[in-house]
A and B are shown apart, each in its own frame.
Chain A
């Protein structure tokens, strides 16, 4: 079986070469089509705080433990209340930092006195587990200055966010990576 006797192009080699070209074109077209169709933006997952109902699934459904979702505090909106409904349980016995009075299960909110009668509330992101209890409290009776956001330095940017799949209010959306936070009222957080 010397190779010289074989014709330059056999039926088989023609078929293989043809298919190779077709497959290459097909794969390229699929990727290119998808790329052009989607404008090739880099996207991140984020919560639309207007839609969020604080169901608590952000804490439990993230692939990370603790969740990449954390509470964010917009100080500019905060009323600096003494009786903070995001900080205290509704049946709090007294307005102090005792654990039994506080909403936050991990004591991630720090309450500091500023001047009578105002207190500043600061979130410790290392302790926050994204349960949204404080957000719910603030939303129900306060100014709504606390809200949940996906922390982009922690989030692994899963192909399909497992919280988004289970979010009852479809509050999870993909947003451009360079402007990856959503403020209330549809405003974007520049940064």
Chain B
């Protein structure tokens, strides 16, 4: 008899229409005056908190911009970056950061089921607008990832220019792969490989800690390795910074070409002054430019071709693809499927839904990979064109794309010291 009740209960359970839950046991009628406690759950931390963060981001962007452009003080910028490291890094635990918010924006545009919180859209937009106005001041003193690297950059070595430029392509490749991963439902790669968030959280995921530690170690000699050679948001900011309305300058007014600042920049972001006239023959320049423009379509095609290799690497990082692939194969000899596959069987979900999801990922990857590769090729081609255009500048100027507005060079400028002593004597 008891057995049949249990079976009936099980049937009820499997019929899967539990209103609150499956009632195998009736709710007791208490004889004493016991009252059933209500279900208590803690409230979410209010959303106002996030808008305060957004406000602080705007304030910090403004303050750092003023420090860099108006006060022209490296110390002030360092102080700002330290505050940002403590607040945006360790207090807020580095999430959500504008770097990762790229993915939220992409996901929001590609997945109708996802809704981007307004403050995340704000986190994405504000530093971009700031970059259009005053250059990469976000990198200088607001980004906690930049700040932690800036602190450890003690013995920066000079990287050869060609290597520097070639490595600066990686962020664009990373960006296109990250966007592709979001669109094809493979997750947020930039967050997954975030090197410093684990440090900010005093976390315990060993691979991330090793990755962050390694970057910090490299960062002692190669200043800001993540910012320069990996950060996809930094790449976008650099692009915007090149056409920014204002930008930090090395000399306060006119540069006297004293060359004192030449070696001050750990990021290779100072363009030295050139001769007044082009030394190259115009014919040679024209030939080189023609060559560079001819390379552009070639680079795009080559990039798209290389992109075709991407699905092979990315596909199997998708869990659905993995599990569907495993379940399609016969049971291995030891009769044991992987834990993921076992769990999937336990969920009782339809294999068709899994396969549909895996197929969608594969289809999007197949279509998006050449586009992502072609985009990376386009960037490479444009870089080559940009490098082949002859430039004429009579002064030492910051390379706006690479300059993070850290203000180190300012301290080396004799004209700046003249300005300060004048201001002081006033």
**B23 in contact with A143 (CB, 8 Å):** yes
**B41 in contact with A51 (CB, 8 Å):** no
B291 within 8 A of A: no
Comparing B79-87, B108-116, B327-335, the segment that makes contact with chain A is B108-116
What DSSP secondary structure best describes chain A's contact surface?
loop
CA distance A84 to B133 in the complex (A): 65
Contact of B343 among A156, A169, A183 (CB under 8 A): A169
Q: Which B residue's beta carbon lies closest to that of A181?
A: B41
Contact of B95 among A19, A80, A159 (CB under 8 A): A159
Q: How large is the interface on A (under 10, 10 to 19, 20 to 34, 35 or more residues)?
A: 35 or more
Q: Within 8 Å CB of A142, what residues of B?
A: 24-25
CA distance A119 to B85 in the complex (A): 50
**B191 in contact with A191 (CB, 8 Å):** no
**A169 in contact with B34 (CB, 8 Å):** no
B240 within 8 A of A: yes
**B243 in contact with A160 (CB, 8 Å):** no
Q: Within 8 Å CB of A120, what residues of B?
A: 34, 37
Q: Within 8 Å CB of A9, what residues of B?
A: none
A185 within 8 A of B: yes
Q: Separation in Å of the B88 CB from the closest CB of chain A?
A: 13
Q: Within 8 Å CB of B23, what residues of A?
A: 77, 79, 143
Q: Within 8 Å CB of B14, what residues of A?
A: none
CA distance A35 to B118 in the complex (A): 6
**B45 in contact with A34 (CB, 8 Å):** no
**A73 in contact with B116 (CB, 8 Å):** no
Q: Separation in Å of the A76 CB from the closest CB of chain B?
A: 6
**B43 in contact with A153 (CB, 8 Å):** yes
**A40 in contact with B188 (CB, 8 Å):** no
The answer to whether residues A39 and B243 also contact, given A31-B124, A65-B204, A153-B44 and a CB cut-off of 8 A, is no
CA distance A144 to B22 in the complex (A): 6
**B191 in contact with A75 (CB, 8 Å):** no
Q: Which B residue's beta carbon lies closest to that of A151?
A: B42
B406 within 8 A of A: no
Q: Within 8 Å CB of A181, what residues of B?
A: 41
B18 within 8 A of A: yes
**B28 in contact with A40 (CB, 8 Å):** no
**B117 in contact with A43 (CB, 8 Å):** yes
**A114 in contact with B18 (CB, 8 Å):** no
**B204 in contact with A158 (CB, 8 Å):** no
Comparing A20-28, A88-96, A99-107, the segment that makes contact with chain B is A20-28
B38 within 8 A of A: yes
A47 within 8 A of B: no
**A20 in contact with B245 (CB, 8 Å):** yes
CA distance A49 to B266 in the complex (A): 53
Contact of A19 among B31, B32, B45, B243 (CB under 8 A): B243
Q: Within 8 Å CB of A30, what residues of B?
A: 105, 109, 124-125
Comparing B96-104, B281-289, B298-306, B362-370, the segment that makes contact with chain A is B96-104
**B41 in contact with A114 (CB, 8 Å):** no
**B39 in contact with A177 (CB, 8 Å):** no
Q: Within 8 Å CB of B204, what residues of A?
A: 65
Contact of B104 among A32, A34, A76 (CB under 8 A): A34
Q: Within 8 Å CB of B22, what residues of A?
A: 143-144
CA distance A185 to B16 in the complex (A): 9
Q: Within 8 Å CB of B121, what residues of A?
A: 31-32, 34-35, 40
**B187 in contact with A159 (CB, 8 Å):** no
CA distance A24 to B240 in the complex (A): 8
**B34 in contact with A115 (CB, 8 Å):** yes
CA distance A19 to B132 in the complex (A): 10
Q: Separation in Å of the B205 CB from the closest CB of chain A?
A: 7
**A115 in contact with B115 (CB, 8 Å):** no
A16 within 8 A of B: yes
Q: Within 8 Å CB of A189, what residues of B?
A: 39, 41
The answer to whether residues A79 and B188 also contact, given A143-B21, A149-B41, A168-B343 and a CB cut-off of 8 A, is no
B55 within 8 A of A: no
B344 within 8 A of A: yes
B contact set with A: CB distance below 8 Å: 17-28, 30-32, 34, 36-39, 41-45, 47, 50, 93, 95-96, 100-101, 103-105, 108-109, 112, 114-119, 121-122, 124-125, 128-129, 132, 187-188, 191-192, 198, 201, 203-205, 239-240, 242-245, 319, 340, 343-344, 346-347, 349, 394
Give the 9 A-B residue pairs with the shortest CB-CB distance, closest first. A79-B25, A168-B343, A38-B115, A152-B44, A144-B21, A153-B42, A34-B108, A169-B347, A38-B116
Given contacts A75-B36, A160-B188, 20 further A-B contacts (CB under 8 A): A1-B394, A23-B132, A23-B243, A31-B105, A38-B114, A42-B47, A64-B201, A65-B204, A73-B39, A76-B38, A79-B27, A115-B30, A115-B31, A151-B42, A152-B41, A152-B45, A153-B43, A159-B188, A177-B44, A178-B47
Interchain residue pairs with CB less than 8 A apart (5): A34-B116, A38-B115, A75-B38, A152-B43, A187-B20
